[in-house]
Amino acid sequence: MKEATKSNYDIKDINQAEGGRRRMDWAEHEMPVLRQIRERFKKEKPLKGLRVSACLHVTTETANLMVTLQDGGADIVLTASNPLSTQDDVAAALVNQFEIPTFAIKGEDKMTYFKHIRAALEHKPHMTMDDGADLVSSLFFIEMGRFDNLEPSLASWARSLSDEERKTLLTNVIGGTEETTTGVIRLKAMEADKVLKFPVIAVNDALTKHLFDNRYGTGQSTIDGIIRATNVLLAGKNFIVAGYGWCGRGLASRARGMGAQVIVTEVDPMKALEAVMDGFQVMPMGDAARIGDFFCTVTGDINVIDGQHFEAMKDGAIVANSGHFNVEINIPALEKMSTGKPNLVRPFVDQYTTKDGRKINILGEGRLINLASAEGHPASVMDMSFANQALSAEYMAKNADKLEKKVYSVPVDIDKEIARLKLEAMGVKIDILTDQQLKYLSSWEEGT
């Protein structure tokens, strides 16, 4: 284990460690699958000797994953995967109580964010664990000498390295894992462009991840974030959900559960049709913009709420994003239409006044609101997501030499085992196919 010393961490306040530890323990109680993996990792040490650099939202659940990897023998450095998602008390607990070098401060600016990514790279990882692919893309830009694609301070560090050092930074890595939809899209684009230089397991693609984390986790925690930020009643309001993917459908159903009239916007006819049949109104954003009280984007796309939509919005509209990057809402367009700077009317609520006098409220600077103003997904769903992370890391440690430079799905056996363990932990039993049923389901000879 690497001892956390003052020089190898950067957090807000070490004195918050005890509170962070209590909240970690609270989350751990809801993570029985990860707990079982941790017990096995303690004995078997499948990650022994591996340096792992993780770039994840620094939450109570992530902290439990980090401790699991450490118990599995990994030498970890953790950095934030979003400037607003860090829980400072948890970062303190990781440093103070588990001696895990952690680089994350809630509200850090872009330069600090990338200074922290640099710390994760300086760890010379054998394995990367990303949420949004910032770590991996930085690594590739450095190796390719594409310094203009990097944040300036990261670029100047990269320039100071010798060619050999830059190369080894990459050749050291045996493989990685990726947590979220947006990261997987970026990695698949890297694979298509033939710049992906090591295998990566797309944890997001496991059924025990996106069916639960993206749907129920994002659904509940996004509503939680919007309510904590605004304390505005949802019942009876028009709530616009942009994107009816895994996150969007979770959010739409939870917003309906709060009594809102939910309207979905989509670009994919199949998803739009599903939303219609699930009982939601579907219309273009241009129309929804005129009637929405709340807006939330969950698309992974850019400028989904754009200047012309702000032009149409009602006075008092509340606009949030729960997709990975802060590009879904075109905030610069709103800035141009507004008089002066926004007023911070409540924590995480920036109120813009348009030149025609309307107030438009942007939550959490357009960053994922469930992590900015709330605590991210509840531990019970992260139990499955992070069981996938831990088991995928173990799989990568054992099989990296047999894998190609591609994006891989989580092996089906791992996915099914996690579902089985979760059901067992919840005390839910299911039927088992009889021999007759097994035979029937695999034959074509029996019919009417």
Ligand X SMILES: NC(=O)c1ccc[n+]([C@@H]2O[C@H](COP(=O)([O-])OP(=O)(O)OC[C@H]3O[C@@H](n4cnc5c(N)ncnc54)[C@H](O)[C@@H]3O)[C@@H](O)[C@H]2O)c1
- Least distance (Å) from ligand X to the CB of residue 334? 17
Distances (CA, A) of 219 to 222, 255, 411, 419: 6, 8, 26, 20
Nearer to ligand X by Cβ, of 20 and 217: the residue is: 217
Tell the smallest beta-carbon distance from residue 188 to ligand X (Å).
12
Measured distance CA(377)–CA(220) in Å, rounded = 8
Task: Give the nearest distance from C-beta 363 to ligand X in angstroms.
Answer: 13
Nearer to ligand X, 34 or 119 (CB): 34
Which residue number, 219 or 342, has a Cβ lying nearer to ligand X?
Answer: 219
Question: Contact, 146 vs 97, CB < 8 A?
Answer: no
Q: Do 342 and 198 form a contact (C-beta atoms < 8 A)? A: no
Residue nearest to ligand X (CB): 245
Closer to ligand X by CB, 70 or 220: give it. 220
Q: How far is the CB of 297 from ligand X (least distance, A)?
A: 8
Q: Is 400 exposed, middle or buried (0-12, 13-18, 19+ CB in 10 A)?
A: middle
Whichever of 66 and 252 has its CB closer to ligand X, that residue is: 252
Whose Cβ is closer to ligand X: residue 75's or residue 224's?
224
Q: Nearer to ligand X by C-beta: 142 or 298?
A: 298
Residues that bind ligand X (CB under 6 A): 180-182, 210, 214, 218, 242-248, 265-268, 271, 298-301, 304, 322-324, 368, 370, 377
Give the position of tokens 């990566």. Answer: 200
Task: Decide: helix, strand or coil at residue 328.
Answer: coil
List beta partners, residue 239: 262, 294
- Minimum distance of ligand X from residue 280's CB (angstroms): 13
Phi and psi at 315, nearest 5°, equal -60, 130
Minimum CB separation from ligand X for residue 300, in Å?
3
**DSSP readout, 351-376?**
EEEBTTS-EEEEEGGGS-HHHHTS--
- Residues in a beta bridge with 282: 264
Residue by residue, DSSP assigns 17-79 as HHHHHHHHHHHHHT-HHHHHHHHHHHHH-TTTT-EEEEEE--SHHHHHHHHHHHHTT-EEEEE
Find the shortest distance in angstroms from Cβ 321 to ligand X: 8
CA distance 137 to 383: 27
Q: Which is nearer to ligand X, 96 or 204 (CB)?
A: 204
Residue 440's CB: how many other CB atoms inside 10 A?
Answer: 12
* Closest distance to ligand X from the beta carbon of 117 (Å): 18
